[in-house]
Structures are given as structure tokens and as C-alpha cells.
Amino acid sequence: MSCIVQRAVTAALAIAVAAGATAAFAQTKYTAEVRRTSFGIAHIKASDYGSVGYGVGYAFAQDNFCTMADEFLTVRGERAKYLGGTGSTPYGVNNVFSDLFFTYFNGDAAVLAAGLAKMKPEVQAAFKGWAAGFNRYLRDTGVANLPAPCKGAPFISPVDEIDMMRLVRRYALQASSGNFIAAMMNTFPPAAGAAAKDWDGTYDEQYWREYQKRREQLGSNALALGSDATDNGKGMLLGNPHFPWVGTLRFFQFHVTLPGQLDVMGGSLSGFPFINIGFNKDVAWSHTVDKANHFTLFQLKLDPANPRKYIVDGQSKDMTSKTVTVQVRQADGSLAPVSRVIYSSQWGPLLSLSAPLVWGTANAYAIKDANLENWRLGDQWFDMNRAASVLEIEKALETNLGIPWVNTIAADRAGSAFYADISTAPNVDRFHQSTCTPDVTMAGVFAQLGVPVLDGSRSACDWVKDAASPQPGLLPGSRMPRLYRSDFVQNSNDNYWMTNPAQDLYSWHIPAVVGIVPQQQGNRTRLGVAQAQARLAGTDGRAGNKFTLPILQEIALSNRSYAADTFLPDMLTLCATEAAASVKSLCDVLAAWDRKFELASRGAHLFKEFFTTAAAIPGVYAVPFDYLNPLTTPRGLAISTPTVAGALVAALGAAGKKITDAGLTVDAPLGMVQFATQTALTGGQVILPMHGGDSAGGGDLVGVYNKITSSLVPGLGYVVSTGTSYIQTVQFTDGGVNAQAFLSYSQSSNPASPHFSDQTARFAAKQWITLPFTEAAITADPAYRTSTISE
């Protein structure tokens, strides 16, 4: 594009921005005070909820405009139009598939407007205000003066409340239909005359590993402490979501004050005008990604005469179809259409996954999504932000039933600790599921893959409608698991079962789709429980038996590997035998390792690579999982079994080779091989050594509470992609709230911002940041500055 054309495009866009913003918001007056303290933390003060959203949207745009503009491109279904068809979203979804998916689900503006209208007036006003604040920044800055990542980009345009609802639906579908974007966009009817093909009983392990990886892309730890566990008898909370370090799943750190109505601080995903994870003067809460299924598949019995018809209650029904077309930019700049026909049934759209869940000649599969009509997200967090106790948190959860795919863990000033998985789940109790699972094959799909499949040939197998639920077919909140304790509750992405081992939460009345019990617990869960129990028993080597804020912070970032403590001793025993002679040098590295993922820990990356492979060896554990001892099994390695011993030695050798082939040394300190990388304004890389650990490729094998997921890049090292994000420790005291936190990747994604990596450096050094919550603390902050915006 010539300079003249580029200037013309920029000028036209600037005029469109100004005109669009004026037309959309001329009838609404917004005024917000945007204050900043150290590390760029935003404090928004306003006198109405529209202005609250206005201030938050403006402050967010100051720090992350380009990240958000990229996401609006995604939820509008226009990535391929502007960026081409070969690229992908920040989360690895092909642009064309992403556009087809979001055009299908977000293409009807009337549906989105109706969703907004279902929200409380205050919440509607806040979302509209957020869009106005975002547009205000764009209008003031101009397309030509935006930060480098999107400066002069042709896709920049104002946003409106429909775009905000596109974003809400995108978040709602994250853990359900959003896991199947490529599958849904590549579902086709069988070819004419295709012969029936029986499934051979073998699952595509790679396919389902990738599915689990997508599910586990988001994770978290949370620990809530009650009056019996803390040094002052008041509540205390650790919240540590493990989310991506790029894209709109990054948290933004802010504080909202509407005098007399709202005073809350914490972090939220991009585009939310209220706090998702945070605290007020009375209660603090966090969320962890849950194990509940927020969808079911329905197996369609196809009409033998036509694979585009299906049978329900003996009657043949036509599938509906919708052609979705998106524009794809070609190498020469021209646009070409790409279309897909999306087939749907009364249960929902069809999708082909992997055998046996594919569209064949006898059966097809449709997905019913519990979050498709969940427009209650905004109301949910609005009510939680104003809660004055964990009892009010529980009430907000039950009343709204708007939490899409997370558990809630909370503690309050009075010293109550609370856990709940009160979220949007299908109302399919155990009896209903057992009678409506089509056959033993589909029962195996649920047992082995965690994907529930119901019989779509019987209308009686639909989700049960209950008047107590705000959305037909959802499990009422009153029937979902929750627990109050005065010692502790915890969750690290396992289901509700072991929230506190002193109280078994299993109940026949809790559907299996909410969590399969019994189930092997992850190593972070086992570590979290062990750490809490040892502290309260006074056996953790520290003085006393109560939690203080520093002790809670030490536990949060201890970087201890539960898997190393539990399984490495047996491996070192094997290392001392002749059978391991070929890997002696690698054994020596593991023997000298401190079993932590600290910056100075030598050999942590070797264990990470080794144990990721070792854990998959058949029969590898000396003591397999035992549901009667869920927190102490599995344990040990079956080194007395020759095949297992040989496989363990081979796994260690392969781990060493992988590392050295990448140009790294196996005994290097972790801080020399694991980095957070950020693109600097000059285009180069800012590299920050990073502690914390995870299995190779993600998962929950190494059992490090400070979960940091990194991928091996040959010639560079392990580059962080996901993990500890907005981590907060909150203590209630007689003098008020004492909150300290990090935003691990920092407040701004703009390389030119002074807050591009400042918190990242503090996180790497474990130097906790005290959050200024009171008016006095805010105005006394050395970096305090304020401005008022209005229109």
C-alpha cells in the first residue's frame, strides 16, 4: 500500500471512528475519574454504573488496546478477512475456522441484543459504558497513533454493545463448544452410498490428548482459610488462576469505587466492567477451572433412507442447515469467500470428533451447550462484587447460576471459608444419565474420556427442566456441591470430592456430569492439601500451627514439586543399579537437584521432561490409585518390574537427549533455561528468567503450586505461555484489608508502556506488591496520578 493510500485509509478511519462514536453515544453522559498508582494499577471512581464501565474501558484501552482490537476481530468473525487464512488466534485456532465458528454463533445481532436486555440495568449500563470508554481512547488517540502492534491497522473500528455481547458469548463458550471449533467446522455428512464402518474399539490417543490439553489450557489454585486456621481468627485467601500470558484471557488489574454502592478491587478478563477475582472490605474470592461438564453430546439415530434425517420417538425429522460464509484475504490482497454448511438438530449443531464420535451412516452427534444462553455472567459478578460475606457469595451463585465453568473459593472477615461448584451444568442426574446413555460404548466414552453422551432418539433423554433454575435444563444451584469450613477449603482443578478431606462431599444426588467420584487427584491437589494439613498440624518446620500472610505467600510460591517428593526416591534407587548405567550422568543431576522449580534449581527441566514421559508408562506406579486413599496414591515407581524399569531408564535418556539436542545443558539452573519473553518496542525480545514449573506440554504431573507452563524452543530455552497470572493473597484484619498480589505478565501489553514488564520482574523476584485499597493508601502512593474523562 502506497503512503498516499495509507494516509487516506487512516484519515477515513479516523472520521468513521469519530462519527460512529458520536452517533452511538451522543445521548449518554459519562464521567469517570481514572486514577493510577504504582505498576499502573487503575482505580476508577464514578457516580453511576455507566460511568464505571466508561472508566474501566478507557483505562483498559490505555494499556491493552491492540490486544482487545485483535479479540474484537475474532468475535466478529473477521480475522481471515484482514489477517489471512493461514494464521491463527492467540490460542492456536486457525483464522478461517475461528471466523466460521464466531459468525455462526455471533452473527445474529438481534440474539445478542436480546441477551444484553436480559441483564440487570446496572450491568447493561456498565457494558455500554465500557464500549464508550474504549471508543473514547480510540477517538482521542487516532488510528495512526495507536501502539505499534496495531498502529494504522485497517481493522480498527469503534465497538458497540453488540460487540460486547459477542465477547460475553465467547467467554461463556470457552470450556464447552469453544473446545470443538475445528471439529464443528469440519463436520460433513457421509458420502452418498458410503458403507457402514464399525468402530474398532481404539481411541485416537493423540486426538484426545489434544482435547484434554485444550481443557487444561486454563487452570488455577485457590486456598481459603477460616477462623481456626489463621493467626488472627479472620479469613484469608490465596487465589492463583493459571491463565494464558497473551490475548484476552489475560487479566487486567483495577479497582472500582461507586460511593455507597461498590468498592471492589482485583483482576478481570478483558472487557469485563466488574471484578472477576478480587476482594472488597468484607469478602475475598477466587475461581478455579472446574471438572463439571458444561455440555452433553446427543447421539442421533439416523434415518436409514437419508443420513440428513434423524429419528426422535420413532418419527423422522429433518436436520436444519445454515450456510456460513467468511471472507479470506489472499496473498495479493483480494478477498475470497469460504463457506461451510453447519447442520443442526433439535439438540444443537452436529460435530464429528474422533471415532466413535463421528457422523457415519447409522449415527451422528450433536452438542447441547449449557452456556449458549448464559447471559447472566455480568449479573453474576456484579452481585458478587457487592457481597458482604461468603453467605452472600453463595446466594449470588444460586440466584444467578451464571458462573460458566469455574469453582468459587472465598473467605470473609468473620472467618468463614467457602467452596462451591455452582455453575451452569446440565440437569442430568445419575439415574437419568444411566438410562439415557445409548450403549456400553458411549458409557466408555464418558468413563474414559469424560465426554457425556445421551440418547438423542428419545425426547425423554433431554435435560430435565426444573423451575428452580433460571435457564431451562440447567441443574439448580441448590443441588450443586458446596462446603463451609472454619479451617480450610481448597481446589486445584480437581472436582469437589477432596475440597477438604475431613468432609467427603460425595453424594449420589450430585450428578456425575458435575464430577466423577472417585477419581484420581492431581498432584497439585495432593500438594495443596498436604501443605494446608502440615501447617495446621504444626509439622511443616515453621513455628506454630496457624497461617500468617507471609506463610501463605511462601506456600503459594514454594515451587516444590510434589511428584519429585513422591516418585523421585524410587528412580534414584533404580539409578544406583547396573540397569541405569547408561544414564548415570543424568541420574547424578536428579540426585543433586533440590526438587524445586526455583531460579537456582539445577536439573528441574530434566525432571520435567523425564516425568512427563514416565507417568505414561503402563503399570509405572508401585502403588496404583486407591479410592480409599485418594491423597496418598498413586505412589512410588514399580522399579522391580523389569519392563517398567527399562522404560524409566529409556525415558530419562530421552529427556536428556531432548534437552541437549535443543542446545541446553541438563544441569543448568532453571533461571538459565526458562524465560518469560516479551516483544520490546524495538522488535527485539525482553527475556526475564522465570521460576515455577509444569509438565512438558502442560497438565498436572509435576505438581508445582506455582504452575508455569513453558515450551521448549531449540536454541533458546523454555518459553512461558501460560500459568500463574493474577495471584492475590488477601488477609482480613482489625484495621481493614491487607492485600498483596502480582500480575505476573504486568498490566500493559504495549511494549512502549512503563508497565509492560515491571510486575513481571517483581514476580520473578517474589517481591509481593501491596495493593492500595483505601482512599488514603491510593492518594499516598508515590506514583499516584489522576485524570477525569467525560463525554
Angle, vertex CA 303, rays to CA 301 and CA 308, nearest 5: 95
Residue 19: other Cβ atoms inside 10 A: 11
**Residue 80, H or E segment:** helix 79-83
What whole-number distance in Å separates Cα of residue 65 and Cα of residue 148?
11
Secondary structure of 244-311 as H, E, C letters: ECCCCCCEEEEEEEECCCEEEEEEEECCCCCCCEEECCCEEEEEEECCCCCEEEEEEEEECCEEEEEE
Spatial separation of the C-alpha atoms in residues 424 and 491, rounded to whole Å: 18
Closest CA to 226 of 488, 526, 536, 410: 488
Report how far residue 240's alpha carbon sits from residue 725's, in angstroms, rounded to the nearest whole number. Answer: 7
Cell numbers describing residue 135: 471508543
* Residue 669 preceded by cis peptide, ω within 30: no
Q: DSSP code of 27? A: T
- Contact assessment for residue 407 and residue 287, using Cβ atoms and an 8 Å cutoff: yes
Q: Residue type for 63, please?
A: D
CB 241 within 8 A of CB 287: yes
**Beta partners for residue 707, in sequence order:** 693
C-alpha cell at 24: 452511538
* Type and span of the H or E element at 727: strand 726-733
Q: What SS3 class is residue 83?
A: helix
SS (H, E, C) 183-237: HHCCCCCCCCCCCCCCCCCCCCHHHHHHHHHHHCCCEEEEEEECCCCECCCCCEE
User: Which one is catalytic: 98, 220, 270, 746?
Assistant: 220
Collect all residues with Cβ–Cβ distance below 8 Å to 260 and sequence separation of at least 6: none
Catalytic (active site) residue 220? yes
Q: Are 657 and 588 in contact (CB under 8 A)?
A: no
In 3-state terms, what secondary structure has residue 136? Answer: helix
* CA angle (104 as vertex; 98, 105 as ends), nearest 5: 90
User: Do 253 and 747 touch, CB atoms closer than 8 A?
Assistant: yes
Strands of 599-695, DSSP E: 621-623, 635-637, 674-679, 685-689
Q: Find the DSSP H helices in 662-743.
A: 670-673
Measuring CA to CA, how many Å separate 17 from each of 26, 136, 137, 140? 13, 9, 11, 10
Cα separation of 324 and 342, whole Å? 7
CA–CA dist 167, 359 (Å, integer): 30
Cell numbers for 592: 543433586
Cα distances from 532 to residues 259, 485, 505, 535, 555, in angstroms, run 38, 13, 18, 5, 9
Q: Is 696 exposed, middle or buried (0-12, 13-18, 19+ CB in 10 A)?
A: buried
Positive/negative CA dihedral, 21, 22, 25, 28 = positive
Radius of gyration of the chain (CA): 26
Cis bond before residue 772 (omega within 30° of 0): no
Q: Which residues are catalytic?
A: 220
